[in-house]
Amino acid sequence: MTLDERKRIILESIIKDYVETAEPVGSRAVVKKHGLKISAATVRNEMADLEEMGYLEQPHTSAGRIPSQSGFRYYVDCLMEKENLDEQEFESLQKVVKENFQERDNFIEEIAHFLSQVTNYASFVILPTVKFNEFKNLQIIPMEQGKALLLVVTDMGMIMHRKITIPEGMEAEELQSIAQAFNHIFGGKKLDKMRRSDLQMLRDALKQRRQVIDNALQAIDNLLKNNQNEKVLVSGTLNILNEPEFKNLDKLKRILTILDEDGPLKNIIPEAVSETVDIRIGRENELEDIKEMSLVFAGYKSFGEMGKIGVIGPVRMEYWKAAGTVESVRDFIDELFKKRF
C-alpha cells in the first residue's frame, strides 16, 4: 500500500488544506496551493485513484474531496512529521511548571491547561491510582481540641491526610501508640489489599481506644476510596465549539457531556498505554459516542504507576501538532516526576 511520490504530495496537501478549512478540497486548489507543475486534470485523475484506494472521499459528486479516516491513518503512519513545541511554547511550559510544581493537583491541572492551549483541542490528564503503592506509615497528629490529623504515607512518597475526631484530652503518646498498632498491621501492604477484616486484630490489640480506631479506619477507607480510582482532569473542552463539525447542537451536546463527566472519559482511553504517543482516529475508538473524534495520548509515570495525558479533537485534527505537543509534554513531566512524585 505504498503511494508514489506524486500521490503522497497530493494526499498530504489535501489533508493540510482540509484540516485548515474544513471544506472539501478541489483539484484546482491543490495545484494552486503548492504551485505544482501539473494540471488540475492530472490531479483529478490522481484523486480518483486515491478515492478508489479509500484514502479520499467525496461528500457529493460536485464537491471536492475530503480525506477519509483511512486517509488520515495513512498520513499519520507514513507521511506525518511531528511538530514539537517551539521555543516560546517550551519556555511557557517551563514557566507553568516552575510556578506550580509545589502541589501535585495544581500542577496537573496547569499541565492540562497548557496542553489545551497549545493545541487548541480539549486535553485530559488521568492521574494514576495508587492502588499498588504500599502502606508505609501512619501518623496521628493532635490538632485543636478533640481533633487530630491522620496522615498516611506510601512507599512511593504519596501523602494522604484527613481530619478525625478524638476524645478530648487524649494524650499525644496514646495517639502514637495507636498509630504504631496500625503501622504494625498494615505496614508493607499494597493499598488495594487493605481489608476491613484486619480491623478485628486492631480492636483486640487496643481494646480501650475503639472510638479513635473506628474514626481512623473510617478516614482511611475514605482516603482509599478517593485515591484508588483514577482521577481525570479535563481542560479546554470549549475548544470544540470552534470546530465547524460540531456546530450541530445535538452532536455538540453529546460530546461536551462526555467530556464533562469523569466516567465515560476513563473508558475512552485504552487501558494499556505505552510511553510513546498513540493515535486513535475516529472509528478506531471503541466507544460509540466518540467515533467522530480522534485521540492523541501517551502514558507517564507518577508514584510508580501509569498516568495518561492527551488531547481529544475532531477527526480533522492537526495530528502533527497534537502528537508533537503531547510527546514533548509527556517527556517533560515524566522526567520531572522521576525526581519528585
Partner DNA sequence: ATTAGCACTCAATGGGAGAGAGTGCTAACA
Partner DNA sequence: TGTTAGCACTCTCTCCCATTGAGTGCTAAT
Residue numbers at the binding site for its own copies (CB under 8 A): 102-103, 106, 136-137, 139, 141, 143-144, 147, 149, 151, 153, 157, 159, 161-163, 218-219, 222, 226, 237-238, 241, 247, 249, 252-253, 256-257, 260
307 binds, among its own copies, DNA, none (CB under 5 to 8 A by kind): none
3-state secondary structure the chain: CCCCHHHHHHHHHHHHHHHHHCCCECHHHHHHHHCCCCCHHHHHHHHHHHHHHCCEECCCCCCCEEECHHHHHHHHHHHCCCCCCCHHHHHHHHHHHHHHCCCHHHHHHHHHHHHHHHHCCEEEEEECCCCCCEEEEEEEEECCCCEEEEEEEECCCCEEEEEEECCCCCCHHHHHHHHHHHHHHHCCCEHHHCCHHHHHHHHHHCHHHHHHHHHHHHHHHHHHHHHHCCEEEEECHHHHHHCHHHCCHHHHHHHHHHHHCHHHHHHHCCCCCCCCCEEEEHHHCCCHHHCCEEEEEEEEEECCEEEEEEEEEECCCCHHHHHHHHHHHHHHHHHHHHHCC
Judged by beta carbon, residue 210 or residue 247, the one nearer DNA is: 247
* Other C-beta atoms lying within 10 Å of the C-beta of residue 54: 14
Q: Is 65 in the site for DNA (CB under 7 A)?
A: yes
Residue 158 CB, nearest distance to DNA (Å)?
A: 53
Judged by beta carbon, residue 47 or residue 111, the one nearer DNA is: 47
143 binds, among its own copies, DNA, none (CB under 5 to 8 A by kind): its own copies
Judged by beta carbon, residue 65 or residue 73, the one nearer DNA is: 65
Residues 6+ positions from 266 with CB-CB distance below 8 Å:
126, 230, 232
Q: Is 98 in the site for DNA (CB under 7 A)?
A: no
- CA-derived radius of gyration, the chain: 27
274 binds, among its own copies, DNA, none (CB under 5 to 8 A by kind): none
Q: Is 145 in the site for DNA (CB under 7 A)?
A: no
Q: Is 196 in the site for DNA (CB under 7 A)?
A: no
283 binds, among its own copies, DNA, none (CB under 5 to 8 A by kind): none
294 binds, among DNA, its own copies, none (CB under 5 to 8 A by kind): none
For DNA, how many residues bind (rule: CB under 7 A)? Answer: 24
Residue 163 CB, nearest distance to its own copies (Å)?
A: 7
Interface of this chain with DNA, residues 23 to 62, rule: CB under 7 A? 24, 26-29, 37-42, 44-45, 47-48, 51, 58-62
Judged by beta carbon, residue 86 or residue 260, the one nearer its own copies is: 260
Q: Is 231 in the site for DNA (CB under 7 A)?
A: no
Judged by beta carbon, residue 11 or residue 233, the one nearer DNA is: 11
Judged by beta carbon, residue 43 or residue 240, the one nearer DNA is: 43
Q: Applying CB under 7 A, which residues contact DNA? A: 24, 26-29, 37-42, 44-45, 47-48, 51, 58-65
